[in-house]
Homo-oligomer: A and B are copies of this chain.
Amino acid sequence: MTDPFPDPATPPARAARLPSAERHSQILDAAVEEFAGRGYAGARMAAVATRADVTKGLLYHYFPGGKVDLFKAAIESCVDPVLQEAERVSAGFQGSGHDLLAALLDLGYGRLASERREHILLRLLLTEADRFPELATLYRTAILEPSLALIGSVIRTGIAAGEFRAGAADEPGLAHVLMAPVVMGSIWRMTLGAEQAPALPMLRDAHLAFALRALAP
């Protein structure tokens, strides 16, 4: 039995026409959410459309390449902001290596604590990298290597100030070891949830103390 009194005041509610750029980023945001929550295979185009308050067909208007296209665009939209702040902090820093290290660890653990794009990006990279080989390269060039370089410069700052042992700058793998706990902090949080995961302040303090001892002259 159909409604005998269809409400003429509520026609099927077509979405307002939007400037191309706005819709584009609106859809992109929805896609980031959906992919983050379900992974590539689990994500549904229809769900992306719903999140963006749009119909499925429109997705293919903005991303003609379909799901893959949308996925790559979603990932790239997360890459930019990640290291910008860290590099800004480091570049303008006037102080001891000790303080710079502390500031960067604060920043790292602090940002990873909030459920932001950094977090999502990391998850998608880990989850899908083997099915999208470009992702592996993206991770290496856009995140891993800049991070290692940043750590290297911190170490050199400390050495120049006489706070750290001179040899530290030349030990291969040291930057990796120094970086690992931060990333693991994020991964634990993502895997176990904020309640079960090790507390970030505890990790930060232990990390800092550990690093300073190992870098001492």
Contact = CB atoms under 8 A, between A and B. Distances in A.
Given A39-B39, A181-B180, A126 B129 contact: no
Given A41-B38, A127-B127, A213-B213, A140 B192 contact: yes
Interface in A126-167: 126-127, 129-131, 136-137, 139-140, 144
A81 interface: no
Contacts of A207: 173, 177
A192 B39 contact: no
A79 interface: no
B140 A196 contact: yes
B126 A187 contact: yes
Given A184-B183, A213-B214, A214-B213, A206 B177 contact: yes
Contact of A181 (B176, B191, B205): B176
A152 B50 CA distance: 49
Copy count, this protein chain = 2
Contacts of A65: none
A209 interface: yes
A129 B187 CA distance: 11
B192 A176 contact: no
A159 B14 CA distance: 71
B39 A206 contact: no
Contact of A176 (B40, B140, B183, B198): B198
A30 interface: no
B139 A192 contact: yes
Contacts of A144: 188, 192
A216 B198 CA distance: 25
28 contacts: A39-B42, A39-B127, A41-B42, A126-B126, A126-B127, A126-B187, A126-B191, A129-B191, A136-B192, A136-B193, A137-B196, A139-B191, A172-B206, A173-B198, A173-B203, A173-B206, A176-B184, A176-B198, A176-B206, A177-B206, A178-B210, A180-B180, A180-B181, A180-B183, A181-B181, A184-B184, A213-B213, A214-B214
